[in-house]
Amino acid sequence: MVPVKGGASCVAQALQRKGYMMNDAAEQVLADGQCVQAKERPSLRERQEALEYEMRSLGIEKYRQLTEAARERGEESTAGAGYKMLQGVVKPLEEAIRDFVNEANSRHGGRRHTSLRFLELFRKIGKGGTDAGLDSEVIAFITARTVINGIELPRPCQDLAISVGSALEDEAHFRFFESNNRTLFRQVQKNYRNSGSRKYRYRIMVIRMDKAGLQFEAWTPREKLQLGMACINMLIRTTGIIKMVHAANRRALNTFQGTAETMAWLSSRNARLEVLSPEFMPMLLPPRDWTTVDDGGYLNVAFRPLILVKTRNTNYLEELRNAPMPVVYEAVNRLQRTAWAVNKAVLDVMERVWDSEGMAGGLPAKNDTPLPDKPMDIITNEEARRQWKRKAAAVHQANTRLRSKGALNNNMNNSLLR
């Protein structure tokens, strides 16, 4: 239970009973303008407090939707705690890969590890096209990303190793394309940067390479397996985020899975991150004045204070805290004291367009775009099936974006009407 300031007010009492997920209580108070117990109209500050709890709840809901969508796509490394983990493990893995290659190259005689030949394909390009050394950061990033994607489920060791090897092969494929025809590579990359899935972009790259007469020697499954296992073993030694679990009997497969410590960290990290991104909406009363870089704006009863200057440089923020800036603070305070007003005529038109499922003025669609009709021969015609899946995937992505915009549009409308 999170303590609420102004506990004597009926709004605060209603919110206190609900804990920090206050959305239902906030809506009840704001919908009819009545307090839950005293049946008296809440003050403007009480309504703002309720709104800030609602902003927090909306932010939590959106965060969970994004992380769940990433989990369903098998892309945990792109959102939430998975993304934070990816940032943390790349550096130590990069150093381990570099040490592994340097040590192997320093040996005289003996058998070289199979993966070494493939790791050395990843070279940095310096000025004038010169070799600037091993690009171990890219190898580490691809390995860690592939492992973290799907880390919540056990995966057969061979499958995961081949997935890592295949991801590295794709990168080597692109580098081969770029080194042999940089102009065409940049053109294709620019034209298809935001088109479809990663697999679709990869297929486009391969098609354009074939048309340009560029032939890349594909790696065998065994080579990808050996390379992937080498990289995964280095990841385990340096970070310990996953472990190998040996099968209980010969019929079962050995698996890689996240350690108990890893899963606990992901859970606690997500719990911390989900409250840090509220859905900000217009305030119902004048914002608090700024006297330092972190004491103005919202009432901050439900989330941490905002920072006047958006930066990740903590040293710079500390300098600003100690710097006298009365003119800056006064200018910002005057600007934010200027109340916004709702143009009711424009709002009425917007609501009519929205209710009639129109999309004028940049409004998102109210309803999802229907999926394309399946071809009659979708079961027997592989090419027709592939094209339909591509079009359906594009519609799914567009509908997801529109739902997000539509939800924000509804929240903003509700805030304006208050």
- pLDDT attached to residue 25: 43
Q: Answer yes or no: are the C-beta atoms of 235 and 151 closer than 8 Å.
A: no
- pLDDT attached to residue 199: 73
Closest CA to 22 of 61, 64, 50: 50
- pLDDT attached to residue 403: 62
With 0-12 CB in 10 A as exposed, 13-18 as middle and 19+ as buried, what is 45? Answer: middle
Average pLDDT per consecutive 10 residues, the chain (418 residues; last block may be shorter)? 38 44 46 47 86 90 90 87 93 92 76 79 67 82 94 91 93 86 83 69 82 86 93 94 86 87 93 89 90 89 85 89 92 90 84 73 69 83 82 75 58 54
- pLDDT attached to residue 117: 83
Token pair recorded at residue 259: 């350690």
With 0-12 CB in 10 A as exposed, 13-18 as middle and 19+ as buried, what is 223? Answer: middle
**Residue that is written with structure tokens 């603070």 in the block:** 329
- pLDDT attached to residue 6: 38
- pLDDT attached to residue 359: 62
The CA-atom distances, in angstroms, between 172 and each of 125, 135, 166, 179, 206 are 14, 11, 10, 10, 12
